[in-house]
Amino acid sequence: MDNEYLKPLPAPDHLTAPFWDGCKANKLLLQRCKQCSTSQFPPGPLCTKCRSAELEWSEASGKAKVYSWIVVRHPIPADVYKDEVPYVVALVDLDEGPRMSTNIVDCVPESIKDGMPVEVAFKQVSDAITLPLFRPAK
Ligand SMILES: [Zn+2]
């Protein structure tokens, strides 16, 4: 782990802390509605489908498919991202339904394809934060 992680980090709040605690334990947790069983991300106070406030945390499979992506080749800000480029920023559709923004890692950017199966790969970046990244499914 890099103790001098200089990139922006998420700031967990009362709605998102369970998600980040899950990542820290290498579990991808999603809110699931007790009324209609819809899984949602990002976390919110109500179900985005039926407006129920009865939500529970449920561990996701960690499996997803690539929906869209870009390859970042010019680091901004240059000082903290210069060793990262090229890197991939992507939207992935989780098997449970929600779409999540992430990075695709452990592959060359040119190998990424629309609909490609990917799986979560947790990366601890500070004592408090572990990021849910995705890599090609094995
Ligand atoms: Zn619902």
Is residue 99 a part of any domain in this protein? yes
Is residue 8 a part of any domain in this protein? no
Gap from CA of 47 to ligand 1 centroid (Å)? 5
Given a cut of 60, whether residue 74 has pLDDT beyond it is yes
Specify the number of domains making up the chain. Answer: 1
Given a cut of 90, whether residue 105 has pLDDT beyond it is yes
User: Domain of 84: which CATH number?
Assistant: 2.40.50.840
Q: pLDDT tens-digit profile of 110-122?
A: 999 999 999 999 9
User: Are the beta carbons of 129 and 9 closer than 8 angstroms?
Assistant: yes
Gap from CA of 127 to ligand 1 centroid (Å)? 34
Is residue 77 a part of any domain in this protein? yes
Gap from CA of 122 to ligand 1 centroid (Å)? 28
Is residue 10 a part of any domain in this protein? no
pLDDT tier for residue 5 given thresholds of 50, 70 and 90: confident
> Which pTM does this prediction carry?
0.93
Given a cut of 60, whether residue 1 has pLDDT beyond it is no
Q: pLDDT tens-digit profile of 38-69?
A: 999 999 999 999 999 999 999 999 999 999 99
Is residue 37 a part of any domain in this protein? yes
Is residue 63 a part of any domain in this protein? yes
Q: Which domain holds residue 128?
A: 17-136
> Looking at the chain, which runs of residues are DSSP E strands?
29-33, 39-40, 55-59, 63-72, 87-94, 99-104, 117-124, 130-136
Tokens, residue 21: 């605690």
